Structure 1
Amino acid sequence: FDFDTLSRINEKLIYVAISGFGSEGPDAELPGYDIVLQARSGILSLRTFPDGTPVPYPIMFSDMSGCMSLSYSVMLALWDREKTGKGQKIECSLLNQALAMQMQQLIWVDNDKGSLPGDAPSAISSCYQCADDKWIAIVVMESNQWAGLCRVLDLEHLIDDPKFDSYEGRVGNAAELGSLFQGIFPTNSSDYWTSELNRERVPCSLVQERDDLLTDDQVIKNRMIGSDIHPTVGNINYVMPPFKMSNHGHVNSAQMPAPLLGEHTREILQNLGYEKEEIDSLLTRNIIRANFD
């Protein structure tokens, strides 16, 4: 049923519709997956092999962020309903979400020939390999951060160098700085560099692997990953919601693990008013499935 039909029955209805490319236009009916939307939105053009072959991002940008935007839009509609007493239709698309994830890059100004944020590698926003073969990422935007980086790298003479004493200068001379940094970071371990950079308040991080997150003290202390025991696969760890609410106590895991196929079939049908005999009949005829394990 469409929104117009259902809203005539209940004017407070909040109706959500999500599509790949939007509800209007020549591609409104086309199917779409995240990687397809990465291509359509221009995201793939930002990540290529040296020969120009686009490399899809393994993180599903539109899928993951789209559900967050969808939740936010529903909350706005609920708030609006509190004011007006009426519901409304919400439309979201993966294409629009992919564009929204590039808000910083997707601003067009007439006659602007400047480079886009992240358009080219920058020595002050890059990754460097250390003596232990691990990589660290650094980002230096402010003058105090530049001074701190120079002190850590024993390059104090560059702090006030006219070529590098402004952000624009450091970006414009990125190639020279990059060559310099690439010769210094391999002289010590990643632990040493991150400790020294943190002491100087220079934004940095070890480039971690997926499994490193399970032992990351910051992740653990802020309870960002929960754990549970699933009845068929055993111990599982997973990311908790990315926010905390002061009026609701913290929980260490989801209320229950993901259900097995058919685990709650009987319970749901009973709540809908079906009698035991009716449910047994549906099960016997293989119309429904229930998991009793």
Structure 2
Amino acid sequence: MTENARPLAGITVLDFTRVLAGPYATALMADLGADVIKVEAPGGDEYRHIGPFLGGESALFQTANRGKRSIVLDLRSPADLAVARDLALRADVVVENFRPGVMARLGLDAATLQMDNPGLVYASVSGFGQNGPHAVRPAYDIIVQAMSGLMDLTGEPAAAPTMVGEALADVAGGLFAAWGIMVALFDRSRTGRGRVVDLALFDALLSMMPSAASRVLVCDADPARTGNRHALSAPFGVYPAGQGHFAVAVLNDKLFAGFCAVIGQPGLAGDPRMASDESRRTHEPVLAGAIAQWAGGLTAAQAVAALSAAGVPASELASVRDAWRSDQARARGLASPVDHPLLGPISLPEQPVHFSGSPRGARRAAPGLDEHGAEIRAELGM
């Protein structure tokens, strides 16, 4: 890799995906230098038509499709289908998120393409995978949250379950799809042959809940909603101050002793009821009362400052706007500007991993519909 080269420079990804999970996976790859060719139906990806809108352009589409090239292909047309096949035979990676069986009917399935392109990595992203009783069911993020148990775990114990405030199933699916593609590319570097990557959003989200898995699979227990409190430790959650709320995380005896000293209750550290994480969780209401008594005369910022000074992990509750505009987010380069031909300079998220010798920023905006169609066809000699 040359100095300042992006890790995926020279990798061509043919992207048949739409909406979020698949496009999120390929956006991560585009951030790292892959040439991602986004194949769109004549009407375009559905996300082009979903707000919020800025100057007639979907902000969601801009975020999930940054850095890609767009070509419109009507896969019902034999001529366009032939273009798609030619592109697949030149690609390193194909990613699709049609229902199982659709790509086979088009002759764009892994078995067909890998006969002529044996090094091709072929990734299928779907709600429930290529097999199993739900394989052909459609799935959106909320459906997978509901079926995975995540929604049942989220919310106050006496209240209704609630969905998480982000499309976590789609994002988890995209992340694991990108991870699987990277593993397959690494394996290809040793064997010369590509693999088929089968990623289900259901599988990905279920795998993102290891603490719940430990209780079900190992202990045969039934995890339940605990609201703003950790299920296994205390004090570990969100508590009120006189003004505002703050989060605190105490996960061992040393931190607990420091915490007790800060809140003016050093005797709690030696209380038999507080001898372990498990017993502290059992007696969490006692701790909640002590915290309320201490923090009731403080602002959330003052409570956090006192806890942080003693080395106890704590934070005020930030809004999403606060988080994106924080000094920490700026220092880590989590978003960078791109030039959009219609919107001008806009800021878009960037994949979060830092690689030595690889710059951040200097990316393209999401493409206009068929913006690169003529260019891509010319590369095929058409």
TM value normalised by structure 2: 0.64
Match of 2:367 in 1: 259
**Aligned-partner SS, 1:59:** coil
**Deviation at residue 235 of structure 1 after TM alignment:** 4.9
Distance 1:199 1:244 in 2: 29
CA distance in structure 2 between the aligned counterparts of 1:270 and 1:103, rounded to whole angstroms: 48
In structure 2, what is the equivalent of residue 207 of structure 1?
Answer: 317
Find the aligned partners of 1:130 and 1:216 in 2 and give their Cα distance. 23
Instruction: Decide whether the 8 Å contact of 2:242 with 2:299 is kept in 1.
Output: yes
1:169 aligns with 2:279: yes
For residue 36 of structure 1, what is the aligned residue in structure 2?
Answer: 143
Matched, 1:141 2:251: yes
Q: Encode CA deviations 1:166-186: one digit per residue, 9 max, x unaligned.
A: 222211211111122123222
Which residue identity is paired with 2:186? Answer: W
| Alignment pair present for 1:54 and 2:161 | yes
Query: Per-residue CA shift, 1:96-153, capped at 9, x if unaligned?
Result: 111111122123357x466759757355111122233x22101101111111111211
Let me know the Cα RMSD of the aligned residues.
2.4
> Number of paired residues?
270
The alignment partner of 1:76 has SS state of helix
Distance 1:271 1:13, change over 3 A: closer
Give CA deviations for 1:166-224 in whole Å, capped at 9, x if unaligned: 22221121111112212322211222222221111111111101111243222222222
Greater RCO (Cα-Cα under 8 Å, separation 6 or more): 2
Q: Distance in 2 between matches of 1:12 and 1:269?
A: 22
Partners of 2:222 and 2:111 in 1: CA distance: 46
Cα-to-partner distance string for 1:56-97 (whole Å, 9 max, x where unaligned)? 212111211211111111111112222222212111111111
Which of 102, 106, 128 lines up with 2:239 in the alignment?
Answer: 128
The reply on whether 1:17 has 2:128 as its aligned counterpart is no
Give the SS at the match of 2:315: strand
Task: Measure, in 2, the Cα distance between the counterparts of 1:89 and 1:27.
Answer: 20
Q: After the TM superposition, which segments of 4 or more aligned residues of structure 1 sit over 6 Å from their partners?
A: none
Whole-angstrom CA distance in 1 between matches of 2:203 and 2:136: 15
Partner SS for 2:238 = strand
Q: Residues 22 and 188 of structure 1: is their aligned pair in 2 closer, same or farther, counting only changes over 3 Å? A: same
- Unmatched segments (≥5 aa) in structure 1: 275-293
Cα distance in 1 between the residues matched to 2:194 and 2:298: 61
Show the counterpart of 1:183. 293
Distance 1:160 1:100 in 2: 38
Contact 1:228 1:257 in 2 (8 A): yes
* Kept after mapping to 1: 8 A contact 2:245/2:316: yes
Aligned equivalent of 1:106? 213
Native 8 Å contact 2:338 2:347 kept in 1: yes
Equivalent AA in structure 1 for residue 209 of structure 2: Q
Which residue number in structure 2 is paired with residue 80 of structure 1?
187
**How far does the alpha carbon of each residue in 1:3-43 deviate from its partner, in whole angstroms, 9 at most, with x for none?**
22222222222111111111112321111001100111111
Residues 182-191 or 265-274, more deviating? 265-274
Distance in 1 (alpha carbons) for counterparts of 2:220 and 2:136: 37
Query: 8 Å contact 1:105–1:117 — kept in the other structure?
Result: no
Q: In structure 1, the residue corresponding to 2:289 is in which secondary structure?
A: helix
